[in-house]
Structure 1
């Protein structure tokens, strides 16, 4: 697509497009994750592209935000770490699952206008 934004969320940079869903960990703006369809807004926008026009922030763009809603919280696949002691015939597989938050981007706004509006 020719309309997208790059945001800083959860210590990572994500390329987001309107209408698509994304997963983020350490989602700080919303504390209560139990409710679905909670509206959210992200102000840490690093770059916005609308067709051939590209706006780059230093470090973030002023008057830019990405609006969307939280769908639900989910978990990633289990990260497995195997510890094998060969002479003792002992195997252990500790691991953990990261908690992720799935959200969908509804619109991208820059200077009071929705991205794509003329």
Structure 2
């Protein structure tokens, strides 16, 4: 299992290929590929690379899935005996990011696993099955 620790949105996050993460808003369009260069730590097959502060040559590639807003956080301020009350709400803008691969010096050391489809259609291609039905 390979993973990396990246810094984005002022926070540090442990990421693995093939998983998605909710991070601070990135100003990119959905389905757009992005590269994160601020990699602090990389672990691959027991080999560890620690940056001071960043690992040189390490990048994390990802795809923006969608943008949305997080849950509402209520902020309630009150001063006792003064009849002063303030109630505010905040919803953080969030980007869902799918991690595609972790690279060191230009070569991908970990990529997301390929998704497997149903095994029913492996025996014959779809075109051959439709051609047989039409011929009958």
Could you tell me which runs of 5 or more consecutive residues in structure 1 were left unpaired when the two chains were aligned.
none
TM-score, normalisation: structure 1: 0.82
Structure 1 pair 90/62, CA: closer, same or farther in 2 (3 Å)?
A: closer
Which structure: larger Rg? Answer: 2
What does 1:56-71 align with in structure 2 at a 5 Å threshold? 56-71=50-65
4+ long deviations beyond 6 Å: 85-91
Structure 2 residue runs of 5 or longer lacking an equivalent are 112-136
- Structure 1: distance between partners of 2:38 and 2:82: 52
What SS class does the counterpart of residue 93 from structure 1 fall into? Answer: strand
**What TM-score does the superposition give when structure 2 sets the normalisation length?**
0.72
State the alpha-carbon separation in 2 of the partners of residues 5 and 56 from structure 1.
Answer: 10
Q: Which has the higher contact order (CA 8 A, sep 6+)?
A: 1
- Name the CA shift for 1:116/1:94 in 2 (closer, same or farther; >3 Å): closer
- Out of 93-102 and 10-19, give the one that drifted further: 93-102
Following superposition, the deviation at residue 82 of structure 1 comes to 2.6
